[in-house]
Amino acid sequence: MSYFKSLASLNRRALTSSIRYNSSSSTVCPLDASKLVIEKTNNPKPKKSKDQLLFGKSFTDHMLEIDWDSKNGWGTPKISPYHNLSLDPSSVVFHYGFELFEGMKAYKDSNGKIRTFRGNKNMERMNKSAARITLPEFNGEELQKLIDKLLIVDQDFIPEGKGYSLYIRPTMIGTDAFLGVGTPNQAKIYTICSPVGPYYKNGFKPVSLEATDYAVRAWPGGVGDKKLGANYAPCILPQQEAATRGFDQNLWLFGDEGYITEVGTMNAFFVFRDPKTGKKELTTHPLDGTILEGVTRDSILELAKERLPSDEWDVTERKFTIHEVQKAAEEGNLVEAFGAGTAAVVSPIKHIGYRGQDIDIPVELGNTGELTAQIADWISKIQYGEEEYKDWSRVAK
């Protein structure tokens, strides 16, 4: 078969796959948590003490798996002992990056209940990522129910106490054994969990950033707003280069104007003071396709708009540049800055290096800014069930 005939066949295959997936035929099964099968381990792992917990280094006894194919839809969900995956070497995940993931956490409240934080937002984002790379979408509530069951099975791995949690990694991969480039006809969702301690064991550790304009994390029309594995590996080299110059992470800039987009793998927030009125502004880059739609970011914006006094604060989403930050710092109008994400919730920023110049950022409370600490407290209270707010904290059952 000629190259062009092969390509035409591949395109027909991709179109057929799309038609099959979008079909309303009753033979295509939706994701259904009620079909869950549970197989418990006969060899439980020893539990690590709290001081031994390192992010992503140890895992619970069990994992969740659901297979999908374009003809039948979603198969039987299964919780089984943690194990290696068996995939054909030609599987499309290895060759073309058909892979996406989410990051969530489970917490134990003071009554021993298991809670997750705004998992519906993770499900929405996971489906957006899947749609972007033509992997199958699913009912997010059904996957949340399955994750709840996994948490209950492995509840002894969830460490108790403020700052401790169980990190949850829902993942979807394309599993077709096929070297052509097209819409996958087979896929798998799996979820693994890792017990973790406080991101900062001895309190906040403010970070130093290198403003990076020699490499680009994301661009308009790309996939920087999706949680795809392919977005992360290319960022490691610039991070290593920044580390050789004494910086903890990259502050990602975009365009000739030097727009600030993200901090490492976190969303970026800055606080400015209006020199004329004294009013403060909490701002972050808008959702224009170049930044991740962070769950923590969304939570901060909503809480800040509701709880900060409007006569003293503006809460905005707008584009701003490294030059604006530099000028505000020089004039004493840069109040504080922080990154926001699932792992740390907030990460204070103390210093930015930009083209050989230093931009120092105040950390009013020694290791963090006042608002940064306040936001961390707001979110922590909801996560650990100390405060109920708009059903953001889900109890596993």
Same domain, 220 and 126: no
In a domain, 247, yes or no: yes
Q: What is the pLDDT of residue 366?
A: 79
Do 220 and 349 lie in a common domain? Answer: yes
Does residue 214 share a domain with residue 187? no
Q: Are 189 and 224 in a shared domain?
A: no
Residues 6+ apart with CB under 8 A from 63: 79, 80, 81, 82, 83, 150, 190, 191, 192, 193
CA angle at 301 for the pair 330 and 133, rounded to the nearest 5°: 105
Tell which of 137, 170, 196 closes a domain: 196
Across 214-219, average pLDDT: 94
Which domain covers residue 134, as residue numbers?
3-196
pLDDT at position 201, please? 75
**Do 129 and 227 fall within a single domain?**
no
Q: Hey, what are 333's tokens?
A: 């109008």
Please indicate, yes or no, if residue 337 is contained in any of the structural domains: yes
Asked if the structure places residue 202 within a domain, the reply is no
Average pLDDT of the segment spanning 69-79: 98
Bridge partners, 192 (sequence order): 169
130 and 274: one domain? no
Residues 288 and 173 in one domain: no
- Give yes or no for residue 21 having a pLDDT over 90: no
Query: Which of 146, 161, 196 is the last residue in one of the domains?
Result: 196
Task: Read off the pLDDT of residues 109-168 as tens digits, 9 standing for 90 and up.
Answer: 999 999 999 999 999 999 999 999 999 999 999 999 999 999 999 999 999 999 999 999
Q: Are residues 251 and 352 in the same domain?
A: yes
Note the pLDDT tens digit of each residue in 323-367.
999 999 999 999 999 999 999 999 999 999 999 999 999 987 778
For residue 4, pLDDT over 80 is answered with no
Quote the pLDDT of residue 191. 99
Would you say residue 162 lies in a domain?
Answer: yes
- Angstrom distance (rounded) from CA 347 to CA 373: 10
CATH number of the domain to which 52 belongs: 3.30.470.10
Whether 379 is in a domain gets the answer yes
Task: Kindly state whether residues 185 and 255 are assigned to the same domain.
Answer: no
Q: What SS3 string covers the chain?
A: CCHHHHHHHHHHHHHHHHHHHHCCCCCCECCCHHHCEECCCCCCCCCCCHHHCCCCCCCCCEEEEEEEECCCEECCCEEEECCCCCCCCCEHHHHHCCEEECCEEEEECCCCCEEEECHHHHHHHHHHHHHHCCCCCCCHHHHHHHHHHHHHHCHHHCCCCCCCEEEEEEEEEECCECCCCCCCCEEEEEEEEEEECCCCECECCCEEEEEECCCCCCCCCCCCCCCEHHHCHHHHHHHHHHHHCCCCEEEEEECCCCEEEEECCEEEEEEEECCCCCCEEEEECCCCCCCCCCHHHHHHHHHHHHHCCCCCEEEEECCCEHHHHHHHHHCCCEEEEEEEECCCEEEEEEEEEECCEEEECCCCCCCCCHHHHHHHHHHHHHHCCCCCCCCCEEECC
Residue 382 has pLDDT above 50, yes or no: yes
Residue 201 lies in a domain: no
| Average pLDDT in the chain | 92
pLDDT the model gives residue 303:
98
Per-residue model confidence (pLDDT) at position 9: 43
Same domain, 221 and 366: yes
Percent of the chain at pLDDT > 90 equals 88
User: Does the pLDDT at position 20 exceed 80?
Assistant: no
pLDDT at 307: 98
- 80 and 21 in a common domain: yes
Indicate the residue among 144, 168, 196 that finishes a domain.
196
pLDDT at 18 exceeding the cut of 80: no
27 band by pLDDT with thresholds 50, 70 and 90: low
User: Over 70: is that where the pLDDT of 317 sits?
Assistant: yes
- Per the structure, the count of domains in the chain is 2
The percent of residues in the chain predicted with pLDDT above 70, rounded, is 93
Q: Is 387 inside any structural domain?
A: yes
- Residue 238, pLDDT above cutoff 90: yes
Provide mean pLDDT across the span 7-29: 44
- Interval 170-204: pLDDT, tens: 999 999 999 999 999 999 999 999 999 998 877 78
Tell me: do 74 and 179 sit in the same domain.
Answer: yes
CATH of the domain at 318: 3.20.10.10
Q: What is the mean pLDDT of residues 49-66?
A: 94
Q: Who wins on pLDDT, 280 or 19? A: 280
255 within domain boundaries: yes
Q: What is the pLDDT of residue 199?
A: 85
The reported pLDDT for the residue numbered 364 is 78
